[in-house]
Structure formats: structure tokens, C-alpha cells
Structure 1
Amino acid sequence: MNILTKSDSEILNIAEPIWDDIVKGANGKNWDLFSKHMPETDQTDEAKQDVENQWEQVPLLTSLTDKKEFVGILRRKDSVLVLWRQWSSKEDGEFLGTLNLQSINSEVKSIGMFIS
């Protein structure tokens, strides 16, 4: 599947369950669920350690709510960014959730996730 040829609604249908797994994985500090949609090459012990350190140091990353609001999709050369307005159960305000998706070996994978 080539993510770049999909419509916005098709991309959103692909992205939502991935984002939900990432949020649930982060909130539960569950690396397996958090990294479920990452390419195998990114599921390293070093990456796991880095993410676990971030979970300990940045409370926002483990307090994301189920509430999110779709903002838009940005297409890049070889990936798409799916943007959500995201909320936290511990931090006041609204945050921007960004999910970077890429087609790898005919599968859509998460190659980056950011909250700011």
C-alpha cells in the first residue's frame, strides 16, 4: 500500500488506530504497544531505553487523553504527517500531536511521533 496515493479520509482511517495504540502504549508505559506500528529496524533496545527515559522525564507523554481533534494532513516526498489537537489529563492546554507515516514494504509504518 502506498500511503501517498491515499485520500485524506483513507489516511485518517489508517492513522487513527495507530495513534490510539501509541497513546495507549505511552500512557501505560507499554513499549510493545507503543512500538507496534514502527518498522522493525526502529524497535531497538536503544530506542526502547530512550522512550522509557522520556516517559519518566516528561509527564505529558504518559498523560494523553483519548480526546483528540483531527487538524490536517501534510504530504511530503515519501511520507505523510497526520496532525491532531491533543489533550492531557495532567497538563493544561492543547498540544499538537504529529504522526509521521511511511509505506515500507507495502505496509504503513509509524516513522515518528511527536507531541508539542
Structure 2
Amino acid sequence: MNIIDQTDEEILAVAHPFWADLVKYSNEGNYGKFIRNFSYDLLLGLNEVEVGNQFAKSELTRSLSEEYDYLGIIRRGEHVTVLYRMRSTKKPGEWLGRLVIGYERGEIKIFAASIF
């Protein structure tokens, strides 16, 4: 099964709850719940110390607004990228949120997530 064959509505039905969880658990600094939908390959590539430092020291990753704007979907290969306009509750300005999802062993998983 390839996620790029799904409709926007089907993709967003999974992506939006994934993104909401990432924002919530980033704000809480809850690493265990933050990574719970990550793909196996993404988990292998994570540096837990670096991620822990981001949670502890980054004002942005601990102050993401739970209100954000969906911008669009990009389909490529076996993954889709879902883009969000993000804001902070403490820092002025806007950031681009990126969520990359696809199938792993029959389940939709997160292959990348970032804030620029």
C-alpha cells in the first residue's frame, strides 16, 4: 500500500492527530509519547541526548501554539509531506512545520517531523 494513493481527506485524518500529538508532547517535554508514532528507521537515527536537550533548552519546542494552519500536502515516492504554519506562545513570528508520513509494516508512521 502506498500512502500517496490516498485522498487528501484520508491522509489528513491521520496527519492532523499525529501533528497535534507532536505539538502537545513537545510542549510537555514528554519524549516517550513524542516518539510513539515514529518509524523504526527514524527511531534508529535519533540521538536521544540531542532530542532531550532540545526539549529542555529550546523555548520554541516548548511553546508551540496548539492552533496552527494546515498549508498543504506534497506527494513523493512512498511518503507524503504535510505542511503547517506554526506559531509560538512566547516568540513572535511564524514557522513552517513539516510532517512526513508513510507506511511501515502496514501501519502509517512518522518518517520525519521538524519546525523551520
> What is the TM-score when the length of structure 2 is the normalising length?
0.90
5+ residue gaps, structure 2, are none
Counterpart in the other structure of 1:49: 49
Summarize deviations over 1:61-87 as a string: whole Å, max 9, x none. 111011011100001112110001111
Q: Does 1:112 align with 2:112?
A: yes
RMSD value, Cα: 1.7
Counterpart in the other structure of 1:23: 23
Mean Cα displacement is larger for which, 55-64 or 81-90? 55-64
Paired residues, number: 116
1:39 & 1:45 partners in 2: Cα distance? 10
Deviation at 1:48, TM superposition (A): 2.4
Mean Cα displacement is larger for which, 106-115 or 46-55? 46-55
Change in 2 beyond 3 A, CA 1:46/1:102: closer
Mean Cα displacement is larger for which, 39-48 or 21-30? 39-48
2:113 & 2:45 partners in 1: Cα distance? 18
One-letter code of the match for 1:52?
Answer: G
> What is the TM-score when the length of structure 1 is the normalising length?
0.90
Aligned partner of residue 29 in structure 2, secondary structure: coil
1:79 & 1:44 partners in 2: Cα distance? 18
One-letter code of the match for 1:66?
Answer: E
Deviation at 1:115, TM superposition (A): 0.5
Counterpart in the other structure of 1:76: 76
